[in-house]
Amino acid sequence: MQTFTLHTHTVGFDGANTIAEMAASARAAGFSVLGVSNHFIVHPDITRARMYPHAVRGGYDAIYLDSFDRVMEKFRPHYAELRKFQSDTDMRILCGMEVDFFPTAWWRDGFLRAIDELHPDYVIGSSHFVYYDDNLCNVHDMANATPDVRDKMLQMYWDKVAAAAASGLFTWIAHIDLPKKVGLGRDEKWCTAENRALDAIAAAGIAMEINTGLYKPEIYEPYPSARILRAAAAKNIPVLLSDDAHKSCQLGRHFDDAYKFARDCGVTNFATLHNLLDFSRKTI
């Protein structure tokens, strides 16, 4: 079973626990390596997105930033704290980030400058937004749109995932079918779009996560769905388990079930830590 957990969030971003609390729980849960991957979300229009006032009310707006200067102000002391913590523990601590990909030259430039200074051990590519009609829209905005607009947004979502994979910037792709969170994209008609994204992942030689954050009694399935995971297995895409822990008690959640689910879908290529850090050296 996987002895590392790399998709986690801590206090100061949108997590509930400190690095020390996360490390203690990870060790107690049997992990020898903890990677911390707080959100790296930069877009000039983010503060006028529909979701932004909800984030302010919920107290997690600190993860949504409109400039690279501001994201660096957060990540510089955060990585210094992680590296200081590493020097005081025998557990292996890695510096990661969960990055929202945006397909513009401005974004790519700023991102490359940021990682050049921060030197993360790995970067997770994610897509929590699509830019539709001059607005940054999340999956809830997609769910609230008219059927016609919703389909356009979903198509944009999948195109953006494919572009993220093809960008060569990421170690692996997070929660690939995120719109499933609000019940979207389950229809067979999305197979073509899903397959294009998987082909981009396979061509880039990067990995994909099975994210156990979605397991709930009413939807007992991770991201991605069995349909996507079977297609990924057929393309021999390396897979890792991620708990997306925002609290220390969520570390390693449902890993046994997710591992079995992956095996049942035909996955045999489970990424090792060595593989992942190796991809990372090539991509970052």
What is the binding site for Zn ion (CB under 5 A)?
A: 98, 126, 244
Please name the amino acid found at residue 153: M
Q: Which is nearer to Zn ion, 194 or 209 (CB)?
A: 209
Nearest residue to 94 via CA among 158, 34, 9: 34
Handedness of CA 127, 100, 239, 235 (dihedral sign): positive
Say which residues have a Cβ less than 8 Å from residue 271's Cβ, sequence separation at least 6. Answer: 172, 207, 238, 239, 240
- Choice between 121 and 244, CB closer to Zn ion: 244
Task: Decide whether 101 or 279 has the Cβ nearer to Zn ion.
Answer: 101
Shortest distance (Å) from residue 146 CB to Zn ion? 26
Residue 279 is which amino acid?
F
Do 117 and 72 contact (CB within 8 A), yes or no? yes
CB of 185 to Zn ion, least distance (A): 16
* Closer CB to Zn ion, 29 or 245, in the complex: 245
- 13 or 259: whose CB is closer to Zn ion? 13
Q: How far is the CB of 148 from Zn ion (least distance, A)?
A: 27
DSSP states of 251-280 as a string? TTTTHHHHHHHHHHTT---BPPHHHHHHHH
Cα dihedral 134, 135, 141, 143, rounded to 10, equals: 20
Residue nearest to Zn ion (CB): 244
Tell me how far, at minimum, the Cβ of 244 lies from Zn ion, in Å.
4
Report CA dihedral (192, 198, 199, 200) to the nearest 10 degrees. 120
The nearest distance, CB 128 to Zn ion, in angstroms, is 6
Closest separation between CB of residue 257 and Zn ion, Å?
A: 19
Cβ nearer to Zn ion, comparing 194 with 244: 244
